């Protein structure tokens, strides 16, 4: 009896300590996540803040400054002098065609490697995945020579083809990991209903793999939207230039319009942020499914 009286308060004390330590741990975790989140968002805040400063405020000691008054004229200059609108439509065309083509090819390749048995499939899978290790700079000169020989420089395809080729390996890797989690009994049921391979692929597999497709679409959208090295190498005519070219419109030999450059960079960042916010849940599902299988 004495033992029970002695042990009961001890257990309650231990539970209280556990609750206190757990709540303290959560507080530390929340503080840590808040700091990480702020560090992730700080470049965007800094970019937008500097886009509203006048030219005399760029060289101060403060990291962030309150614009007084905000220089909204920098955004007007970005639209009028930076050719933002025509370059924006070129970026939209090149990016969406590249993303759609990458998703289509990645689905076909992933289905072939996960659902079909054929000779040398493992060899070809490894060859395609090796593409993730090839740096962009190593392909600039060979691609420039090839495009020049076939007359494809200064065209939309001079950007769409290399963008698609560089995005296929990582996209196929993500879709393959997700597709391997799909039970084969679903396809067997479709076959029993008389479905062919294309109907199975686009009517059965495609709806299930939407999280993975959303993931690769957002990742590829950001890669293509912000890409500048290949665009600067393969495109010289204004007709086909993309949005990053607007930044160098404000770079001169003796002076530069920093406010307009920051305004253009802010405009370039907005579509990527919107895409990420719209597909956040689908991205998490796609990455989690691929990581669990891997």
Q: Which fold is adopted by the domain 81-291? A: MetI-like fold (1.10.3720)
- Which pair of tokens denotes residue 9? 């308060």
CA angle 265, 139, 217 (to 5 degrees): 50
Alpha carbon distances (Å) from 236 to 156, 181, 241, 282, 288: 12, 45, 7, 37, 41
User: Are 107 and 197 in contact, with CB atoms under 8 Å apart?
Assistant: no
Chain-centroid distance of CA 89 in Å reads: 19
Tokens of 222: 């950001």
Neighbours of 183 (CB within 10 A): 9
Q: Is-contact 263 256, C-beta < 8 A?
A: no
Q: How far apart are CA 109 and CA 107, in angstroms?
A: 6
Please report, for the chain, the start and end positions of each structural domain, with discontinuous segments joined by +: 24-70, 81-291
Residue-by-residue pLDDT tens, the chain, 294 positions: 444 445 455 656 555 555 555 677 788 888 999 999 889 888 888 888 888 887 667 676 777 777 777 778 888 887 877 788 888 899 999 999 999 999 999 999 999 998 888 888 889 988 988 888 888 888 899 999 999 999 899 999 999 999 999 999 999 998 888 888 888 888 888 888 888 888 888 888 888 888 888 889 988 998 898 888 999 999 988 899 998 888 877 777 666 777 788 888 888 888 888 887 887 777 766 666 655 544
Rounded Cα gap, residues 24 and 20, in angstroms: 6
């Amino acid at each position: 009896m004495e033992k029970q009286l002695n042990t009961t308060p001890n257990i309650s004390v231990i539970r209280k300590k556990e609750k206190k330590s757990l709540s303290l741990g959560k507080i530390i975790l929340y503080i840590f996540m808040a700091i990480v989140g702020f560090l992730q968002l700080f470049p965007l805040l800094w970019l937008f803040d500097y886009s509203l400063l006048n030219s005399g405020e760029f060289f101060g000691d403060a990291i962030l400054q309150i614009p007084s008054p905000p220089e909204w004229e920098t955004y007007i200059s970005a639209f009028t002098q930076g050719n933002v609108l025509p370059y924006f439509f070129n970026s939209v065309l090149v990016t969406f065609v590249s993303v759609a083509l990458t998703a289509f090819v990645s689905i076909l390749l992933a289905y072939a490697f996960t659902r079909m048995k054929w000779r040398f499939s493992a060899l070809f899978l490894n060859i395609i995945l090796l593409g993730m290790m090839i740096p962009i700079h190593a392909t600039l000169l060979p691609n420039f020579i090839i495009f020049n020989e076939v007359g494809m420089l200064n065209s939309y395809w001079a950007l769409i083809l290399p963008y698609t080729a560089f995005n296929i390996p990582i996209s196929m890797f993500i879709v393959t990991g997700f597709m391997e989690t799909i039970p084969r009994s679903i396809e067997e049921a479709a076959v029993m209903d008389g479905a062919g391979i294309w109907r199975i692929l686009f009517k059965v597999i495609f709806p299930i793999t939407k999280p993975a497709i959303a993931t690769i679409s957002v990742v590829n959208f950001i890669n293509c939207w912000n890409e500048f090295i290949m665009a600067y190498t393969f495109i010289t005519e204004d007709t086909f230039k993309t949005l990053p070219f607007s930044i160098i419109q404000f770079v001169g030999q003796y002076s530069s319009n920093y406010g307009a450059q920051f305004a253009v960079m802010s405009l370039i960042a907005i579509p990527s942020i919107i895409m990420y916010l719209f597909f956040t849940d689908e991205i998490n599902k796609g990455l989690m499914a691929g990581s669990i299988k891997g």
